[in-house]
Amino acid sequence: MGKEIRVGIDVGGTHTKAVAIDNATHEIVGQSVVMTSHDHPLGVAAGVIECFENCLTKNNIAPEDVVFIAHSTTQATNALLEGDVAKVGILGIGPGGLSGLMSKKQSNISDIDLGTGRKIKICHTYLKQKGLDKTLVEQGISTLLEQGAQVIVASQAFGVDSNREEELVKEVAEKKGMLVSVASDISKLYGLTSRTRTAAINGSILPKMMNTANSTENAVNQAGIKVPLMIMRGDGGVMDISEMKKRPVLTMLSGPAASVIGALMYLRASNGIYFEVGGTSTNIGVIKNGRPAVEYSVVGGHRTYVNSLDVTVLGVAGGSMVRAADHKLVDVGPRSAHIGGMEYAVYTPLEEIEDPQLEFFSPKKGDVSDYVCIRLKNGKRVTITNSCAANILGYVKETDYSYGNVESAKKCMKPLADYLKVSVEECARQILGKAFEKIEPVITRFAEKYKIEHDQISLVGVGGGASSLLPFTAEKMGLNYSIPEYAEVISSIGVALAMVRDVVERVIPNPTSEDITEIKKEAKTLAIKNGATPESIEVQIEVDPQTSKVTAIALGSTEVQTTDLLKECDEEEARKLAAASMNLSEDALKCTIQNDIFYVFEADKNEKHQVRLLDKKGFIKVQRSDAKAVEVKAADWEAAVDAMWKDMLVYKAEMERTPDLYLCIEGKVLDYANTVSLEQLKIIMGTEFAGIYPDEKIILLGARSEV
C-alpha cells in the first residue's frame, strides 16, 4: 500500500472543491475544483463525483490508498430555502381518553413555514398506543397516503423513554416502500411538539437527500474506495452515510462547520470570531476554548432539536457590489458581482479599462436601481466590490487569494469617487466602512453572548474573500486577526480532517452518577456506530441548570489515527502565546504548572488574576480572568473541588454566583461552567475518576462568574 490519503469535498453554492491530504503529514497532495452541479439530474452528487474522481486521477492517487473520504453539503439547507421538500404524514401515537387529547394536539403540528414563502405540507393522524398492532399501523399509514403523504413521521408521546411503537411504524412503512423519519432517532429530548417538528423537517428532505446519498455512495464504491463515505454534520463532526440517510437534517450548515474545523487545524485559534467569506455572503461564528459554538438550528423561525454551529449569515462579502445615490454611498450588498453577471474591477486587465463611465443598474427584477457599475469603452461592464476597495487600501497581500490589479481597481473607482466628491482612497475606505457597519454588531453580540473579553478576541478568516473584510475590521476594532494558508479551500481541508461527533441529550432532573455514566455510554456507542474507534472517543458532559437538560458530546477519530499537524511547542513558545492572549510582556507571566500535556501560566492584570491553560500543541484550552489553578492527586479531587468552589463563590445583590470549574484529566480538558450546585458538579465530575490511579496528577481550574 502507498501513502494513506484523506479526501475532503466541500459543496459550495458556486464551486465544489476537493482536497487530498497525506494522513501522516497533513500535506495537501491534490486539489480539484468543479462547478457545483445544481441542475444535473443527479443534483449536487454529480459535482461531488466528478470532483473526487478528478482529484484522484490527476494526482495519481490509487483508490486503495484512500483511508477516509467525506463531503459537506449545502443540500439540506438549500432544499429548505427553496421549498424543495416532500409532503409529510405524521402518525402520532399516545394514550387514549382524556390524557391522549394533549398528545394528539401536540403531535398535530401545522404546515411549517420555511420563511421564504414556501411551506412543508403536513397531514396527521393519531393512533392509541394500547393494543397497537401492524394492522392498525397499516390503516394509519393508508389514511396518510390518501392525504398525499410522501414520507411518514412516527412520533410517540414519551417515545424517548420507549420507542417500540415508533419502530413498529418504521417497520410497516418501510415494507410498503415508504421513507420514514422516527422522532426519537432525531432527538432524545422531551417536548413532543418540537420533537415532531424536527422529525417532520427531517422527513421533508429525505427523498432529495436519499437520491444524492445513494448516487454518491455508489460512485465511491465503483471507484474502488473501500472505506465508508462520511458526511459532514452541521455541528462540526462527520457521520457515516447510513446514519445520514436516517437523519439528513443534521447536515444543515455543514459548510460553515467544515471551515471552522479546517481553521482550527491550521491555526491555534482558542477564543475568537471566525469569518467564512465567500463572494456573496459571509458566515460569522464563534470559537470558545478551542471549540466552535453550537446552538439549536432555527428553520423558518421555528426552533428545532438539531445541533448546528451558531452562525450568523450576512449578505456582505468579497464580491458585494456598491450602491450609491444623491452623491452619497448608500450600502454595500446584498447583491454580488456574481449575481450581477459582472467581473470585479480589480480582476479586470488594465489595458481593457479605457474611458470608464459610472452607471447605475438593478441586478435582478424587483431590485433597487442604485447599484454601481462601470462601463468601459469596449462596451464591457465591470463592478466595484469590497475586494476592489481592500486591494486599493493595501489590506490584501500578494499571497492572498483575493489579490488583484490595484491600478485597475483605482482607475474604475475614480468615476465613483468623483461622483461622491472624495478621493479614490476615501471612496474605498467608505465602502469598507459600510461593510463594517454590518459586521461589527455581530462580533459584539457574539462576544457578549459567549463572554469573550475584548482583549481575548481574535478574528479568524477563511474562504477566498477573507482578506477583503478581515484586516479592515480588525483595524477598526483594535483586534488581532489571522488568515490561514489555503484559506480558499479550508472547508475541504476541514471535511478531510473532521472527527466523528455524536450528541445525546436528555432531560434529567437531579442526575445521579449512574445517569451520567449511562448517557456517556450511549453517546460513545453512537460514535462507534458512526465509525469512531472506541479508544479515541472522549465524552464531554454539559448540564443546563434551567432546563435540567444533560448533554453528552462524544468525539472520536475514524479507523486510521491522524497525526497532529502542529509540532509540540516548548515552554518559551507557550509563554509567548499566553502573553499575547493576556496582552502582557512575557516576563510578567509565571509558569505555575507543567506536565507532559499542559502548561499553566498566571499573571496579574487590572486587579484580576489571569490564568491560561495551554496544551503542548500551543492551543489555549482555557483563558479566564479572576481565576486560579491547582495541581493535586486524583485521590484528593473532592477536597480540591470543595476548596475551589468555596474560594470562587461570589455573592452579588443577595444572589449566589456559582463559579466555573475546569478539570484536566488524562489529557482531556472538561468544562463544568454553569453547573448549578457543588453537589451536582461532584456527581458529574466523579464519573471521570473510574479507573484512575489515586496518585495520578490532575489540574483543577476555577474562575469567578463573569455575569
User: What mean pLDDT is predicted for residues 604-615?
Assistant: 90
Place of cell 480558499: 488
From 187-201, 470-484, 645-659, the region with the lowest mean pLDDT: 645-659
User: What mean pLDDT is predicted for residues 243-267?
Assistant: 76
Starting from the edge strand earliest in sequence, which strands make up the sheet with 660-665, in order?
627-633, 697-703, 660-665, 668-671
Over residues 405-441, the pLDDT tens digits come to: 999 999 999 999 999 999 999 999 999 999 999 999 9
Its sign, for the CA torsion 573, 576, 578, 581, is negative
Measured CA to CA, the distance from residue 102 to residue 616 in angstroms comes to 55
Measured CA to CA, the distance from residue 122 to residue 455 in angstroms comes to 49
**How far, in whole angstroms, is CA 32 from its chain's centroid?**
23
- Report the predicted TM-score, pTM, of the whole model to 2 decimal places: 0.73
| pLDDT score for 189 | 78
Over residues 630-655, the pLDDT tens digits come to: 999 999 999 999 999 999 988 776 67
| pLDDT score for 461 | 87
Q: Quick check: 510 pLDDT over 80? A: yes
pLDDT band at residue 145 using 50, 70 and 90 as cut-offs = very high
What DSSP element (H or E) covers 408? helix 406-420
From 47-61, 74-88, 470-484, 592-606, the region with the lowest mean pLDDT: 74-88
Running DSSP on this structure, what letter comes out for residue 350? G
| pLDDT score for 645 | 94
Q: Quick check: 680 pLDDT over 80? A: yes
Its sign, for the CA torsion 23, 29, 35, 40, is negative
Q: Quick check: 506 pLDDT over 90? A: no
DSSP calls for 537-587:
-EEEEEEETTTTEEEEEEEE--SSPPPPSSPP--HHHHHHHHHHHHTS-GG
Name the amino acid, one letter, at 493: I
User: What mean pLDDT is predicted for residues 117-142?
Assistant: 92
Show the DSSP H helices in 304-423 as ranges: 337-340, 386-392, 406-420
Over residues 28-44, the pLDDT tens digits come to: 898 888 887 777 887 77
Measured CA to CA, the distance from residue 578 to residue 591 in angstroms comes to 10
Measured CA to CA, the distance from residue 361 to residue 325 in angstroms comes to 11
**Rounded-to-5 percentages of helix, strand, coil across the chain:** 35, 30, 30
Across-strand partners of 460? 274, 482
500, three cell numbers: 466523528
Measured CA to CA, the distance from residue 465 to residue 485 in angstroms comes to 13
Provide the 10 A C-beta neighbour count for residue 293. 17
77, three cell numbers: 439547507
Over residues 342-391, the pLDDT tens digits come to: 999 999 999 999 999 999 999 888 889 999 999 999 999 999 999 999 99
Running DSSP on this structure, what letter comes out for residue 227? S
| pLDDT score for 88 | 96
Q: Quick check: 394 pLDDT over 70? A: yes
Running DSSP on this structure, what letter comes out for residue 450? T
Name the amino acid, one letter, at 38: H
Q: Quick check: 270 pLDDT over 70? A: no
Name the amino acid, one letter, at 304: T
Measured CA to CA, the distance from residue 487 to residue 467 in angstroms comes to 10
Mean predicted lDDT score pLDDT of the chain: 86
Residue pair 269/287 in contact (Cβ under 8 Å)? The answer is yes
Residue pair 344/465 in contact (Cβ under 8 Å)? The answer is no
Place of cell 500500500: 1
User: What mean pLDDT is predicted for residues 594-620?
Assistant: 90
Its sign, for the CA torsion 253, 259, 260, 261, is positive
Residue pair 500/239 in contact (Cβ under 8 Å)? The answer is yes
Over residues 210-251, the pLDDT tens digits come to: 887 888 888 888 888 888 888 888 888 888 888 888 888 888
